[in-house]
């Protein structure tokens, strides 16, 4: 088996944080989002990360600084969204060009999975596609996702629905699945006409009478696709605590909720509530609530709420 992580999106909804970095490289509770996935994978599974050309340099730097020796990076020659192959198209190109004939553990690099990926691997029946599903506590929330309608046997997928107005199921796809080698030809064929529809391959399997199984989890899972989801995921992981990176300082400061300070960031004489500071930031005499602050920002005497600040922002009260 091989793992293939899709990390080639441009994530415009999280600009300015993703202007110069891919979403899977955003820090989440002290380490890049993609590392939360890779750290769960068995060491014997080789990992390929599919990226776009615009972020190639940052991914190479990430690979070097994090000692990901078993990780291979494949670069899609796209520097803007309109040039992309599409998620499924990227998988198909890799399978075809590398002549892949192994089962594929397919992961989307912008998801946080609090459930054990090993449990998905353990549930996998060789030759049968399987999807990791998150069981939402409120079925109404499923209208924002692609849902899985289970069969009566409790393990097989009966059908899929994409963002249904009236969901029939609280099970949503998490972006983690296993595609058996025996069905890769179907994937390549389907990608020729639907290169953007990564979830559609499982609907295609059903249309071709290929059974698809699922494994449901209730542990935290987040699609980090928005400012709100980023903060929510941080709250779920960090809890009501302060997470300090290397050489980070937080003194004479009141904190509430989840507060994360990246490496070498310092906060003095401030009030922070649900705040994420990236690296090398300086905050003094500020009140910040529900904010995400990029690298090398310098704030003094500022009151901010529900803001994302671009790298290198300087805000000082006159």
Q: What is the largest CA-CA distance in the chain?
A: 68
pLDDT > 70: what percent of the chain?
Answer: 98
Cα distance between residue 215 and residue 254, in whole Å:
42
| Residue in 105, 124, 102, 86 with CA at minimum distance from that of residue 40 | 105
Q: How far is CA 129 from the centre of its chain?
A: 21
Give the pTM. 0.93
H/E stretch holding 96: helix 87-97
CB 298 within 8 A of CB 280: no
Tokens of 18: 């993703």
The packing angle between helices 184-191 and 200-207, to 10°, is 110
**Residue range 138-142: mean pLDDT, rounded:** 94
Q: Is residue 272 predicted with pLDDT exceeding 70?
A: yes
Q: Where are the beta strands (DSSP E) in 142-270?
A: 146-150, 157-162, 171-179, 213-217, 221-223, 242-244, 249-251, 254-261, 266-268
Q: Which residue has the higher pLDDT, 276 or 21?
A: 276
pLDDT in tens, 100-124: 999 999 999 999 999 999 999 999 9
User: For residue 82, what pLDDT is reported?
Assistant: 67
Per-residue pLDDT, averaged over 127-149, amounts to 95
Q: Is 17 helix (H, G, I), strand (E, B) or coil?
A: coil
**What is the CATH number assigned to the segment(s) 2-228?**
3.90.550.10
Q: Assess contact for 206 and 159: CB atoms under 8 A.
A: yes
- Backbone φ and ψ of 305, nearest 5°: -140, 135
What pLDDT sits at residue 68? 76
List, for residues 75-90, the tens digit of each pLDDT value: 988 677 666 778 999 9
- Confidence at 205, pLDDT banded by 50, 70, 90: very high
The residues with which 222 forms a beta bridge, in sequence order, are 112
Per-residue pLDDT tens over the stretch 144-195: 999 999 999 999 999 999 999 999 999 999 999 999 999 999 999 999 999 9
Cα separation, 214 vs 149, in Å, equals 10
The number of residues making up the chain comes to: 318
- pLDDT of residue 257 exceeding 80: yes
* Residue 64 confidence class, pLDDT cut points 50, 70, 90: confident
For residues 26 and 85, the model is more confident at 26
Residue 83 confidence (pLDDT): 65
pLDDT in tens, 35-61: 999 999 999 999 999 999 889 999 988
Mean pLDDT of 228-242: 95
Sorted by where each begins, the domain ranges of the chain are 2-228, 239-316
**The pair of three-digit structure tokens given for residue 239, joined into one six-digit string:** 């809890």
Distance of CA 29 to the CA centre of its chain: 13
Work out the end-to-end distance of the chain between its first and last CA atoms, rounded to an integer number of angstroms.
59
Choose among 187, 169, 185, 37: nearest CA to 115.
Answer: 37
């Amino acid at each position: 088996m091989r793992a293939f992580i899709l990390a080639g999106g441009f994530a415009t909804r999280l600009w300015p944080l993703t202007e110069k970095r891919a979403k899977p490289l955003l820090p989440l509770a002290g380490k890049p989002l993609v590392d939360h996935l890779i750290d769960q994978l068995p060491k014997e599974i080789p990992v390929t990360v599919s990226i776009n050309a615009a972020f190639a340099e940052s991914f190479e730097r990430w690979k070097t600084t994090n000692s990901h020796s078993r990780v291979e990076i494949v670069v899609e020659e796209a520097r803007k969204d309109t040039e992309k192959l599409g998620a499924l198209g990227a998988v198909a190109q890799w399978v075809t060009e590398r002549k892949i004939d192994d089962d594929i553990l397919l992961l989307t690099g912008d998801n946080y999975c609090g459930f054990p990926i090993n449990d998905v691997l353990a549930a996998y029946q060789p030759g049968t596609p399987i999807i990791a599903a998150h069981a939402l506590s409120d079925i109404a929330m499923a209208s924002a996702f692609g849902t899985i309608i289970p069969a009566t046997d409790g393990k097989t997928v009966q059908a899929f629905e994409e963002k249904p107005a009236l969901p029939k199921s609280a099970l949503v796809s998490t972006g983690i699945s296993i595609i058996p080698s025996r069905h890769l030809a179907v994937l390549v064929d389907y990608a020729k006409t639907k290169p953007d529809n990564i979830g559609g391959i499982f609907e295609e399997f059903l249309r071709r009478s290929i059974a698809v199984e699922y494994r449901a989890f209730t542990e935290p899972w987040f699609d980090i696709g928005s400012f709100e989801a980023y903060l929510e995921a941080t709250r779920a992981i960090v809890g009501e605590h302060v997470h300090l990176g290397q050489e980070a300082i937080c003194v004479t400061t009141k904190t509430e909720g989840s507060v994360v300070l990246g490496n070498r960031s310092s906060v003095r004489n401030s009030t922070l509530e649900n705040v994420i500071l990236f690296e090398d930031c300086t905050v003094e005499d500020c009140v910040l609530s529900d904010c995400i602050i990029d690298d090398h920002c310098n704030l003094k005497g500022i009151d901010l709420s529900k803001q994302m600040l671009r790298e290198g922002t300087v805000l000082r009260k006159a």
